[in-house]
């Protein structure tokens, strides 16, 4: 089936689930805004534009100021902004593969677009331009509706899975090139360029700035620099994805050169197996918080096995927060149009929040997993000064093998991340299909 056919199904599903949500919240219609350009303060340059994610859920049209009008039982209307502008390209949408699913009307000015949604009966607006929407009589206190739309977002349609597969395939080509650039002795900047060049894209297609870390910088979870002087790294962590029609892939790999300490190389191999074991535990009905707890337990085991922690059981190491010193972030998150996608904390479509044991504050989703959810699985072990420092003088200091920690700290850390679709019988690990 071609993408357009998958898209047709996707829109039919959106129509059905959105009609239900509108009925439940007693709205007659819904307007979704793509959003406007945002400018740097006192400057005429704008920040890179990203369409509002719920707009993207319906429509892949790029660019600002479009509105979508969704009415139960009617074909959705795209009110497209086609300004008379000779500074920028405004793509002709007439041959877009998705256009036949919409009634499209084009307007040269924003005022003309907004005039189309003025004085509609009880109509909700979601998007970034709330003040303007209110001035046109649209309802913007929409938390009930948003909870339902966010909930539906967490069940991926076949179209969305196709897009995720394409975004993964592209990211995998970048990851392969990045790995080669690392083993060839490249700098962080070289590796970043190799990644982008292999994917044949610009920054526009990056779902987030690439995280490219040589050596000790791998201990900075979202390290943003690209050093050019440091080369011939001993260890390497890359966290980078691609965005296809708005759908993100989010992939992390860690590597060690032959010159890296043997202890680190074996820790990396242990972490690779651990990450795959965690992926295979996933099935519908599993609580992601439980999987996160399992990750802590396994990471504590690994730390003890490698003598980074000693004189304590793995249960107590987790209980005392020792595993969290090395693994301070959540095991994963929902993935989709947002890299950290919506709906992660809900237990149902009305927006009820998942009860928490309160043990893991940094966990971005505590969902009971269900078929159709797309999540990342990204355990890590890092040598982070800011977290290790206080332990040196704390009550648990004797449980840490400080000599070994000092020896491995220049290696930075390890994270391995796959994007996993929950299926009726278990999982489909989309990342491993392209990056074994
Ligand atoms: N890829 C960055 C993150 O998941 O936070
Ligand atoms: Mn991630």
When pLDDT is averaged across residues 142-167 and rounded to a whole number, the result is 98
Q: What is the pLDDT of residue 247?
A: 98
Q: What does the pLDDT look like over 70-104, one tens digit per residue?
A: 999 999 999 999 999 999 998 889 899 999 999 99
Give the nearest ligand 1 atom to 340 CA.
Answer: 4
175, 341, 364, 417: residue to mutate for ligand 1 pocket, most atoms within 8 A of CB: 417
Give the nearest ligand 1 atom to 241 CA.
Answer: 1
Q: Which residue has the tokens 């499209």?
A: 104
CB 40 within 8 A of CB 47: yes
Measured in Å, residue 374 CA sits from the centre of ligand 1 at 14
Is 80 exceeded by the pLDDT of residue 307?
Answer: yes
Q: What is the pLDDT of residue 316?
A: 98
Q: Which ligand number lies closest to the CA of residue 419?
A: 2
The structure tokens listed for 81 are 């902004």
168, 254, 340: residue to mutate for ligand 1 pocket, most atoms within 8 A of CB: 340
| Site residues for ligand 1, CB cut-off 6 Å | 208, 239, 250, 339
Q: What is the pLDDT of residue 31?
A: 98
Question: Which residues in the chain are classed under CATH 3.90.230.10?
Answer: 158-434
Question: Which residues in the chain are classed under CATH 3.40.350.10?
Answer: 3-153
Q: What is the pLDDT of residue 356?
A: 73
Measured in Å, residue 330 CA sits from the centre of ligand 2 at 9
Q: What is the pLDDT of residue 173?
A: 98
Query: DSSP for 228-274?
Result: SS--S-SEEEEEE--EETTEE--EEEEEE-TTS-HHHHHHHHHHHHH
Q: What does the pLDDT look like over 322-355, one tens digit per residue?
A: 999 999 999 999 999 999 999 999 999 999 987 7
When pLDDT is averaged across residues 366-371 and rounded to a whole number, the result is 95
Give the nearest ligand 1 atom to 339 CA.
Answer: 4
Is 90 exceeded by the pLDDT of residue 395?
Answer: yes
What is the β-pairing status of strands 67-70 and 29-33?
Answer: antiparallel
Measured in Å, residue 246 CA sits from the centre of ligand 2 at 16
Nearest alpha carbon to residue 245 among 171, 172, 169, 166: 166
CB 78 within 8 A of CB 33: no
Measured in Å, residue 250 CA sits from the centre of ligand 1 at 7
What does the mean pLDDT of the chain come to?
Answer: 97
CB 199 within 8 A of CB 241: no
Helices (H), ranges, 282-347:
288-305, 314-319, 322-326
Measured in Å, residue 371 CA sits from the centre of ligand 2 at 20
249, 250, 382, 418: residue to mutate for ligand 1 pocket, most atoms within 8 A of CB: 250
Measured in Å, residue 168 CA sits from the centre of ligand 1 at 15
Is 80 exceeded by the pLDDT of residue 357?
Answer: no
Q: Which residue has the tokens 């206080």?
A: 390
Measured in Å, residue 90 CA sits from the centre of ligand 2 at 33
Nearest alpha carbon to residue 369 among 241, 296, 282, 271: 282
Which listed CATH number (3.30.70.100, 3.40.50.970, 3.40.720.10, 3.40.350.10) goes with 3-153?
A: 3.40.350.10
Q: What is the pLDDT of residue 207?
A: 98
Q: What does the pLDDT look like over 373-393, one tens digit per residue?
A: 999 999 999 999 999 999 999
Helices (H), ranges, 3-126:
3-24, 53-58, 110-115
Which contacts of 352-361 are long-range, i.e. CB under 8 A and separated by 24 or more positions? 354/289, 356/289, 357/289, 359/289, 359/293, 360/289, 360/292, 360/293, 360/330
Is 90 exceeded by the pLDDT of residue 119?
Answer: no
Q: What is the pLDDT of residue 330?
A: 97
Architecture of the domain made up of 158-434: Alpha-Beta Complex (3.90)
Q: Which residue has the tokens 């965690």?
A: 278
Is 90 exceeded by the pLDDT of residue 359?
Answer: no
Give the nearest ligand 1 atom to 252 CA.
Answer: 1
Instruction: Assign 304 a pLDDT band (cuts: 50, 70, 90).
Output: very high
Give the nearest ligand 1 atom to 250 CA.
Answer: 1
Q: What is the pLDDT of residue 146?
A: 98
């Amino acid at each position: 089936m071609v993408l357009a056919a998958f898209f047709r199904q996707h829109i039919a599903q959106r129509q059905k689930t959105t009609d239900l949500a509108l009925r439940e919240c007693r709205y007659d219609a819904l307007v979704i805004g793509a959003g406007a350009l945002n400018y740097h303060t006192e400057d005429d340059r704008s920040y890179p534009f990203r369409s509002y994610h719920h707009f993207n859920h319906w429509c892949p049209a790029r660019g600002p100021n479009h509105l979508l009008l969704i009415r139960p039982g009617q074909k959705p209307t795209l009110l497209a902004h086609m300004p008379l502008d000779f500074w920028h390209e405004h793509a002709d949408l007439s041959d877009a593969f998705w256009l036949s699913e919409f009634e499209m009307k084009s307007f040269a000015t924003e005022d003309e677009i907004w005039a189309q949604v003025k004085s509609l009966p009880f109509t909700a607006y979601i998007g970034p331009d709330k003040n303007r929407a209110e001035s046109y009589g649209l309802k913007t206190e929409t938390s009930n509706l948003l909870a339902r739309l966010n909930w539906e977002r967490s069940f991926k349609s076949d179209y969305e899975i196709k897009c995720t597969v394409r975004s993964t395939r592209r990211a995998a080509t970048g990851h392969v090139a990045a790995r080669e650039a690392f083993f060839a002795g490249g700098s962080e900047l070289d590796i970043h360029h190799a990644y982008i060049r292999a994917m044949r894209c610009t920054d526009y297609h990056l779902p987030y700035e690439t995280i490219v870390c040589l050596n000790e910088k791998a201990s900075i979870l979202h390290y943003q620099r690209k050093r050019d002087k440091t080369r011939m790294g001993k260890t390497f962590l890359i966290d980078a994805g691609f965005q296809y029609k708005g759908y993100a892939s989010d992939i992390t790999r860690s590597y060690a050169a032959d010159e890296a300490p043997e202890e680190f190389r074996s820790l990396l191999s242990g972490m690779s197996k651990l990450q795959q074991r965690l992926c295979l535990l996933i099935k519908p009905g599993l609580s992601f918080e439980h999987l996160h707890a399992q990750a802590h337990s396994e990471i504590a085991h690994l730390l003890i096995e490698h003598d980074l922690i000693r004189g304590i059981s793995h249960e107590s190491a987790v209980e005392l927060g020792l595993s969290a010193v090395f693994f301070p972030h959540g095991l994963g998150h929902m993935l989709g149009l947002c890299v950290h996608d919506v709906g992660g904390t809900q237990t149902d479509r009305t927006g009820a929040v998942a009860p928490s044991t309160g043990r893991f504050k940094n966990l971005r989703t505590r969902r009971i997993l269900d078929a159709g959810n797309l999540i990342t699985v990204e355990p890590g072990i890092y040598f982070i000064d800011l977290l290790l420092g206080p332990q040196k003088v704390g009550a648990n200091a004797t449980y840490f093998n400080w000599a070994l920690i000092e020896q491995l700290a220049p290696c930075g850390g390890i994270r391995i991340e796959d994007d996993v679709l929950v299926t009726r019988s278990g999982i489909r690990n989309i990342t491993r299909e392209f990056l074994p």
